[in-house]
Amino acid sequence: MSIILGIDVGGSGVKGAPVDLETGEFVADRLRIPTPAKSTPANIAAVIGEIIEHFEPVIGDAPVGLTIPAPVLHGVVPFIANLDQEWAGFNADRFFEERLGRKIALVNDADAAGLAEVYFGAAKGNDGLVILTTLGTGIGAAIIHRGVLIPNAELGHLELDGYDAESRAASSVKEKEGLSYKKWTHERLQPYYSHLEMLFSPDLFVVGGGVSKDWDKFGHLFDLKTPIVPAKMRNRAGIVGAALFARDAVEHPDPLVEEADGIN
């Protein structure tokens, strides 16, 4: 099972490609379809079905990995921000499997990016505790220990100096307040990463999000004991991480999901 379809669901687009999990490379060009204006699970499922059908000659009956911009707790989405509120409390794994007729594995988008960076990107070869953060509208996060994902780490919502951390340190805040890279790093990012360092003692920080392309403007300004590097996978991270998660979900199924399926 070396080729698996990864699909990255976002607020503006749904993107998918088959991934060779030996190399982390796409084996066909990525397909992107705009996210439906009414982004309900049913409407998203229709788009995902189109993407699966497009790549079916390549992937056969292999499972499909699917990212979503929300936590995923044993297949259930507890709350949602950037898609329709019908997702909140929704058993998405079961719904998609029944609707699409194949094994579907749902994963938080930041968690998927973290897996991609550990297996193929900036954290490849690191056998310790890796924390990936994505700096964007908010702050997404993933914790991976010795290659194993600890899911749904909402580290952007840590309280820091009386504030929700992402409300002060996200790159969207930098743009909104017109902060220079120096001021943003010294006054917002440095306290945030120092706090994470104190709480977790990680072996490596990986910084993703669109702003990571400007790493040469702020990466050297940190004063940390922990190495901190920019992400490498860029816009491939979600798709590749989704495919990795789907493979792992088949090889190591969630016992609580299986138990719930047995009851129902």
Is 49 part of any domain?
yes
CATH of the domain at 78: 3.30.420.40
- Quick one: average pLDDT of 89-115? 93
Is 44 part of any domain?
yes
Percent of the chain at pLDDT > 70 equals 95
Nearest to 134 by CA among 162, 171, 107, 168: 171
Per-residue pLDDT reduced to its tens digit, 155-214: 999 998 899 999 999 999 999 999 999 999 999 999 999 999 999 999 999 999 989 999
Are 183 and 253 part of one and the same domain? no
Confidence at residue 251, expressed as pLDDT on a 0 to 100 scale: 74
How many Cβ atoms sit within 10 Å of the Cβ of residue 9?
24
Is 172 part of any domain?
yes
Are 157 and 70 part of one and the same domain? no
Per-residue pLDDT reduced to its tens digit, 215-231: 999 999 999 999 999 99
Is 116 part of any domain?
no
State yes or no: pLDDT of 69 exceeds 80: yes
The residue with tokens 């998405």 is 92
pTM of the predicted model as reported, rounded to 2 decimal places: 0.90
How many domains are contained in the chain? 2
Nearest to 140 by CA among 171, 95, 163, 161: 171
Domain hosting 31: range is 3-111+237-263
Is 106 part of any domain?
yes
Are 82 and 68 part of one and the same domain? yes
- Cα of first residue to Cα of last residue in the chain, in angstroms, is 29
